[in-house]
Amino acid sequence: MRATIFGASGLLGKALMREWSEDAVTGLGLRDVDIRDAKSVQQALQESRPEWVVLAAAYTDVDGCEGNPELAFAVNREGALNVAKAAKEAGARLLFLSSDYVFDGKKTTPYETGDARNPQSVYGRTKAEAEIKLQELTPDCCIARTSWLFGTGGKCFPDTILKLAASRPALDVVNDQRGCPTYALDLARALVQLCRKNASGIVHVTNAGDCTWFEFAQEIVWSAGLPTTVRPVSSQQMARLAPRPSYSVLSPARLQAFGIEMPSWRDGLQRYLEERQD
């Protein structure tokens, strides 16, 4: 199989390039192609002639999106449409990376793939609108929603916690937002399997289990053997520019229907910590 990855220089893109070893894979970073430029996207796919296109390129700074909505929509919605159109012209299937931020966080049970979108932030709106437009343009595309991504080779929550814990005796972390931490390598493996299974429609892809950011931080500090105290606080006490879903646990039912099982987030965290030490 031939595959082309947009966003190959990002945290997930790097993991995909590492994991997708048995096929002919072309990795394109921002220096290679800006997905806002439809012609360069089209040219890239004409050259690589993929059977699958994975769109992992995005503007993912959630607070940055709130302050710069024009850029957020240009990359996350219009850029995604450029890739989808070029993939369709090239006769390639598309896998698009989306987010738990398409939901409002008001549920108390895991979100199913068919639950109504109701994004509360600019970032969430860009992803939700991209999903709708991509499904209209390419009905056989696969939309993989994920959440709380972490891994080596990029900025992520565990990296931030470890750096802060190395120099501070205590950390305050929000305890009223619950979701599913997802290790980039586990996500990458699942995405490769989805492509190989010719998946279509919406699939939720996260590590198994859920926690709050406070519980996640506690596990990170404890697993790393650091003496730092982690204290629970409310989202109001740690106000951010963009609203976060208070509950964004994603149901794995459709992923499991494809015969794909994800390890627990704690298992992923242990492997992340080991990888970080190498």
Residues with catalytic roles = 123
Q: Can you name the residues that pair with 105 across neighbouring β-strands? A: none
CB atoms within 10 A of CB 78: 16
Cα 251 to Cα 134: distance, rounded to the nearest angstrom: 22
Token pair of 277 as six digits: 């030490």
What letter does residue 101 receive in the DSSP assignment? Answer: G
Token pair of 126 as six digits: 């860009």
Under 8 Å between Cβ of 179 and 215: no
Cα 81 to Cα 47: distance, rounded to the nearest angstrom: 19
- Rounded to 5 degrees, what are φ and ψ at 219? -65, -40
Under 8 Å between Cβ of 143 and 202: yes
DSSP E strands: which ranges in the chain? 2-6, 24-28, 52-55, 93-99, 142-146, 149-150, 170-174, 178-179, 182-183, 201-204, 211-212, 229-233
- Rounded to 5 degrees, what are φ and ψ at 258? -85, 5
Summary count for the chain: helices (H), strands (E): 11, 12
User: Rounded to the nearest 5 degrees, what angle is found at the Cα of 130, between the Cα atoms of 26 and 156?
Assistant: 65
Cα 110 to Cα 83: distance, rounded to the nearest angstrom: 30
